[in-house]
Structure 1
């Protein structure tokens, strides 16, 4: 009897667990970007290379182990992007328009301050959404 009650309660509790996953996103006020997460060296190295387009409110969030001056280049990246560097509190420390690299050596885009996160979005998003140094981002699902 006790074993049956235990199994019933266990199955009941398992049925109550949500199977929904939280979609990672970065929001600046009411404007949000759904993001792919790049948090391994391999994912960060590949980034958005070889893609022909990035849908409207989508981007890639690079997550590092520690705050530092994380430089980016656009080798094999076919679309212009805005790079938005943020510290561990989600404060924007730099915004740089990054253009596809057309010849070697490719320029390296580096922020003015240490950052823990870098968000890549379509070029123009930062300007259109008024994202600048000091803007606070809400990062969720990471």
Structure 2
């Protein structure tokens, strides 16, 4: 019985999350600047359930130096997949103070799950390779109005 309850709960969560997603790219989200050392990232902010569910789905292109910051209400394990996402991306799972907890390269059009290794409130998605090209790894501290840092 417990297994059935868990399965029904998971199905309900998956259905409710799927119902938030739209079927075209969202291009006009609010923006906030994030700095990664000497690099400025022009960041769209996905803060509502609808915005987070759609994320970067259906995008054909994202300029270098641009990203999407997913903002959640409280820290928890965050897991992302790439269904309906056509761009190869890297997800930076970010703590409240802006410290990158871990990075995950994600292939387009897959349902593989990519998760934070610790509870986080933020996930920053960038074009795949952007972090590596800049030498940015886990432990690096991002700065910006979203994070609790000076």
Please indicate the TM-score interval, normalised by the length of the shorter structure. 0.7 to 0.9
Contact 1:93-1:114 within 8 A present in 2 as well? no
Task: Please state how far the C-alpha of 1:101 moved relative to its aligned partner.
Answer: 2.2
Q: Is 2:55 aligned against 1:55?
A: no
> Which residue is 1:125 aligned to?
130
Provide TM-score, normalisation by structure 2.
Answer: 0.74
Q: Secondary structure at the match of 1:64?
A: strand
Partner of 1:139, secondary structure, is coil
Equivalence for 1:111:
116
Which of 64, 86, 107 in structure 2 is aligned with 1:78?
A: 86
Unaligned 5+ runs, structure 2: 1-29
Q: For residues 34 and 86 of structure 1, what CA distance do their matches in structure 2 show?
A: 17
Structure number with bigger Rg: 1
Deviation at 1:140, TM superposition (A): 2.6
Unaligned runs of 5+ in 1: 1-21
Q: Which residue of 1 aligns with 2:102?
A: 94
Maintained 8 Å contact 2:82/2:106 = yes
TM-score (norm 1): 0.78
